[in-house]
Amino acid sequence: MNKSLQQKNTRYLLVWLPWVLLAGTFIFYILMNEHAHHMQEQQLKLKQENVWNAFLLNPEVRAFHIRGEYELEKGVPLPKELMNKRRDTAVYYPGEKEWVRFGILTKPYSYKGEPFQLTTYISSKEITHLIIKVLFAEAFIFILLLIAIVIINRKSSRVLWQPFYDTLKKIKEYDIIKNKAIQWTGTTGIEEFDQLNQVTETLIRNVNQAYSNQKQFVENASHELQTPLAIIRSKVELMIDNPALTEDTARLLTDITDANERLSQMNKNLLLLAKIDNNQFSERSSIHLSDITEKLLSYYEEYYDGDSPVIRKKIKPGIFVPANASLIEILINNLIRNSVVHNLPGGWVDIQLNDHELVIENTGYPIPGDTEQLFERFKKGREESKTTGLGLSLVKQICDLYRYTLHYHHTEGLHRIRVIFGNGGLQNSSQIDP
């Protein structure tokens, strides 16, 4: 499962740091104990010195002892290897009815040729208590430390990785069509991130360059195609005017003409697409949408003169959009044309325009397969030779440019295209209804 950098970092810290701190606590305990024993030994030795000196001042007292303090015995009963070493023992106090732990040290002495052994006692209870208290304090400090490390780490990594997140945000905002400039603000102060920015910048510059070359290529290619197309057209025109024209030749010429016309139309549309891509329709004015729609519809009615499907319209007057006049005309013309050309004999077209959308509904042949592809270049709903396959992709391109949402819906023999103006989908401005 993917986690953010910070989460990952915190997780590592939380998994490993407690073990380190635990090990630290253990070592600390051992060291403390060691030191405590050492200290006790020193104290025992000092006490021994004092007690022996006191004994020398008053040597008549041959043997004496005080419980929990010292014990002087004649003779040396203790094995030699235990001499001068701190040992642990416990002494029973009947008054309190408890065993108390002591650290003891036994040392051999001789007085006037007689051997003695002196054992001194120091209670271990206090030092043990102290060690426990210190350990608790240490554990508390360690927990504080753990929390502090995690918090500081989170904060510092947030600061440290900030340039990375900035870069990420900029790359996310990058769009080859709408937002192609990426501007880095100075250096980040971190070598790796500066490198990342540089590499990204180069990459994006190359991508933009390739894209712009590509667009330029399409535009140039379409331009260059115009002349040969004009030549073919002119030659065919001269041929059809030839008095020796036979019906067979005429039939061939009809096909050539049709193909050539389609080619020029396609080329025109390609050029138009390239120009939209190249942002050559950037100037906008307030376009009277109702007016243009009415006008285009009247042309269709006029030119088709009864051959066209029945056109029903409900157009709200006085609707304006900020756009380029030619593009809006192409948009609406292509939509109307589409609904008329792909209609059935005796079919109808229903057009509605209101403040926020244009809806064109028409009868037509059912479209097999994926309708989403209809808006891609050179995708046709049906194999028909009279269309260019670019009409709807122009529609999509223009909708994308103005951020209109495009909906296409199709049920058996009924097609509906909706163009929603205004604050349509900013990111993905074309959606197809399921």
Sequence-separated (6 or more) residues with CB below 8 Å from residue 296? 329, 332, 333, 336
344 binds other proteins (CB under 8 A): no
The two tokens of residue 430 are: 């074309």
Binding test (CB under 8 A) with other proteins, winner from 81, 241, 383, 412:
241
Interface residue with other proteins, options 117, 257, 290, 352 (CB under 8 A): 257
CB 169, min distance to other proteins, A? 38
CB of 172 to other proteins, least distance (A): 35
- Going by C-alpha positions, the residue among 55, 26, 39 that lies closest to residue 103 is 39
Q: Does 261 participate in binding other proteins (rule CB under 8 A)?
A: yes
**Other C-beta atoms lying within 10 Å of the C-beta of residue 17:** 16
Q: Is 315 in the site for other proteins (CB under 8 A)?
A: no
Candidates 112-120, 148-156, 225-233, 408-416 — which segment interacts with other proteins by CB under 8 A?
225-233
Spatial CB neighbours of 136, under 8 Å, sequence gap ≥ 6 = none
295 binds other proteins per the rule CB under 8 A: yes
Q: Which stretch binds other proteins (CB under 8 A): 19-27, 118-126, 238-246, 419-427?
A: 238-246
Residue 162 CB, shortest distance to other proteins, in Å, is 47
For the four alpha carbons of 193, 198, 199 and 205, in that order, the dihedral sign comes to positive
Tally of CB atoms within 10 A around 347: 18
Binding part of the chain for other proteins, among 31-39, 62-70, 193-201, 332-340 by CB under 8 A, reads: 332-340
Query: What is the spatial distance between Cα 301 and Cα 299, in angstroms, rounded to a whole number?
Result: 5
Per rule CB under 8 A, is residue 223 in the interface with other proteins?
yes
Positions in 346-405 near other proteins (CB under 8 A): 386
Q: How far apart are CA 137 and CA 332, in angstroms?
A: 80
- Closest among 339, 268, 266, 324 to 292, alpha carbons compared: 324
d(CA 260, CA 299): 25
* Chain positions contacting other proteins, by CB under 8 A: 223-224, 226-227, 229-238, 240-241, 245, 247, 250-251, 253-254, 257, 261, 264-265, 268, 271, 275, 280, 292, 295-296, 299-300, 302-307, 326, 329-330, 333-334, 337, 340-341, 386
